[in-house]
A and B are shown apart, each in its own frame.
Chain A
Amino acid sequence: VDIYLDHNATTPVLPQVAAAMADALARTGNPSSVHRFGRLVRRSVDEARESVAALAGVSAANVVFTSGGSEANNLALRGVADRAFVSAVEHASVLDAVPDADVIPVDGNGVVDRAALKEILAGLDGTAVVSVMLANNETGVIQPVAEIAEIVHAAGALFHCDAIQAAGKRPVDMRDLGADLMSLSAHKFGGPQGIGALVVRDGLDPEPLIRGGGQERRRRAGTENVPGIVGFGVAAQHEQDAANDYSAKLTGLRDDMERRLLAAAPDAVIHGAGVERLANTSCIGLPGVSGEIQVMTLDLAGVAVSAGSACSSGKVTPSHVLSAMGRDDEAARSAVRVSLGAETKAEQIDRFVEVWSDMARRRDTGAHSRRSVA
């Protein structure tokens, strides 16, 4: 009965990932050890690194495994340049990685304002890194990163792309994106939590955040999370094969869902709908009902969605993404994020649409204003 529509927060581990991890968990050995137990697990790390590298279109040596996307973003922003420039709709782990980062504005759809970017970067001196995500975690909006990369490189800066929400949903070839650094997280596309990577192009050597042993070519110390890395590798392999089917299937399901929601509540807003988005993500505003109330109502009906990103959930603040897109506080507070997964079924969407439409109807009869007062 329960319906999970919060895949941008985390995804279930794919069966083949779980199987590979169970094998890895049964093997003892520290990959830095020179004896056979060590060498055996080292080999599984090497193989997984190849798979992740293939997903990113790079060589294995370019992949630095981290504890997840947040660490990868922090490493990218702090480790390569004196100054950082970040778009206003970035994830908190990019926005907060460097305390004094300059912010690049976005337009009403959440797309980076390229003219403003050029102006901000004009006359840049010293080293700088510019960070723009490939796909937004709250709205699914895709950034024109190749074009942004050109502007960034013309200004003599490095380009970091947070591809955490995009990986597994669309191609993340680092060269096509024009990125010098790219962040990935396994648990957003069928891999396990607790493992991610910063992909670093040749010739760049980020200053490590976590120091100690010489693991990850001295770019990230600590005993490798072998089962996590193995799971990441299998997920990467799978997603490379499946990314096309995924988009084709989910775009239809999602677009149909949005049409029905708008039919039920014509004043509802699909944020970022004017531009290209991830196939699975829908950020829906229902004027007059806070995101919190919507999520609670849906939760009671067994449907899991979120108000904003999972990291900041619990905090009752308007979405910084929607605020950056020019929405007022009321609009930024009354949105929910619905994110579908490869295993989402049409019947589940039907049920969600039914519960949501009922909620919209009750708003119109005043039921929700009473509840939010109480």
Chain B
Amino acid sequence: MTGAPTAIYLDHQATTPVDPRVLDAMLPWFSETFGNAHSEQHAWGRQAAEAVDAAREQVARLIGAEAREIVCTSGATESNNLAIKGATRFALRHGRGRHIVTLASEHKCVLEACAAMEDEGAEVTVLPVGADGLADVQTIVEAIRDDTVLVSVMAVNNEIGVVQPLAEIGTLCRERGVLFHADAAQATGKIALDVDAMKIDLLSISGHKVYAPKGIGALYVRRRPRARLLAEISGGGQERGMRSGTLPVPLVVALGEAAEVAGEGLAREGENLAALRARMLARLQDSLDGVFVNGSMERRVPGNLNVGFTGVNAETLMADVPELAISTGSACTSASVEPSYVLKALGLSDADAGASVRIGFGRFTTENEVDAAAEMIVRAVQEQRAGGSARAAE
């Protein structure tokens, strides 16, 4: 085995480990009590279907929804595609509008899904965000038109962790009769969400960002007033016609358990993560000059820190700390050498965007790990700056 276990994992916005409680809940469903949840005519199928129902209930409870409003998907990317394309296609087909409003800092899959709708006749308004990464509710008000179908705003940004003003946007959308979709992949189980209080019509959930495995997610689809979607995957008509395909029972069970575990520990875990983050930031700022935080620090999930080191190349920094897993942006685009479009949307220069890293703390992160990681980063930044000035002096 390569030495991953001794390394420190601080990339919890890319993916999280599977919680042992989640693992225990899901494992029996692979072989001991396996079944196709749609084979409700026999005991195996009914058993699987009951497990799926219970899990749906657990997921619904975390966001203040009803179980029958939860559509299981393969993950948040599929949920976002289904929400945006499904709602827009339904509107296009029935002549109920053709305009989408979203933000420049959304996840790539939201922006790509919107772009795909442009090819099918929709129009998309991509709004800027402020230097703090937050959406300006007034610009959303102004962007909504008579033919607007949907406003899609992420609950929590995947790179900078800022929490958008969901309730305000939701209230506004409801007043204007526009659907409100929130990509909550980074928010579910991290901040309190209530689809009724926040007037959210569609909400995307990811399993592997909340200590369940990869390959499972969900889309909340409001029943009253009803959000209507055209399916992306057709066939057996599962998930009330919105998403065909055999449900992966162990994964659905895992998502349910993960939702329950996250809901129970939400406040306590938030405090822990905030303390770990404060510890990291203090260590960095105490030892280094030119440390800047990207995005609002006040309106931010506790597990996220996006921090830049003036004059430093973040790619080089990451390569210099091979024992530490941090990232320079979203994992989906991490092979790209372009500076983060999210940081650019905040108005950062290429140099500052390229000097920034995302540090993501998680449920099992310890103070010792934070201290060790801070030390590694400080040393690497100091060495890079020293090397850089030595080269400049030559």
Contacts and interface: CB of A to CB of B under 8 A. Distances in A.
B235 A212 contact: no
Interface stretch (B160-168, B221-229, B273-281, B322-330): B322-330
Contacts of B9: 28-29, 37
Given A36-B2, A304-B44, A313-B41, A224 B235 contact: no
A318 B247 CA distance: 24
A222 B115 CA distance: 17
A35 B321 CA distance: 9
B386 interface: no
Contacts of B371: none
B4 A34 contact: no
Q: Interface of chain B, helix or strand or loop or mixed? A: loop
Nearest to B44: A304
Contacts of A348: none
Contacts of B75: 67, 222-223, 225
Given A214-B332, A214-B335, A227-B215, A25 B18 contact: yes
B245 interface: yes
B38 A71 contact: no
Contacts, number: 281
Nearest to A94: B235
A60 interface: no
Interface in B92-119: 107-110, 112-113, 115-116
Interface string A283-323: 00000000010011011001111110111111000000000
Contacts of B238: 311
Nearest to A97: B234
B318 interface: yes
Contacts of B247: 193-194
Nearest to B77: A222
B41 A299 contact: yes
Interface stretch (A3-11, A127-135, A250-258, A365-373): A3-11
Interface stretch (B29-37, B261-269, B341-349): B29-37
B303 interface: no
A73 interface: yes
Contacts of B73: 67
Given A25-B23, A306-B42, A213 B108 contact: yes
B387 interface: no
A310 B14 contact: no
A212 B14 contact: no
Q: Which of A30, A214, A303 has the most CB of B within 10 A?
A: A30
A140 interface: no
A32 B219 CA distance: 23
Nearest to A227: B213
A124 interface: no
A226 interface: yes
Given A37-B7, A215-B332, A225-B215, 9 more contacts: A4-B44, A70-B244, A193-B251, A209-B81, A210-B232, A211-B112, A222-B74, A310-B45, A313-B38
**7 tightest A-B CB contacts, nearest first:** A311-B236, A212-B109, A225-B215, A194-B248, A93-B235, A213-B332, A67-B74
Interface of A: 2, 4, 6, 9-13, 15, 17-18, 21-22, 25-30, 32-38, 40, 66-71, 73-74, 91-97, 185, 187, 192-195, 209-215, 221-228, 292, 295-296, 298-299, 302-307, 309-314
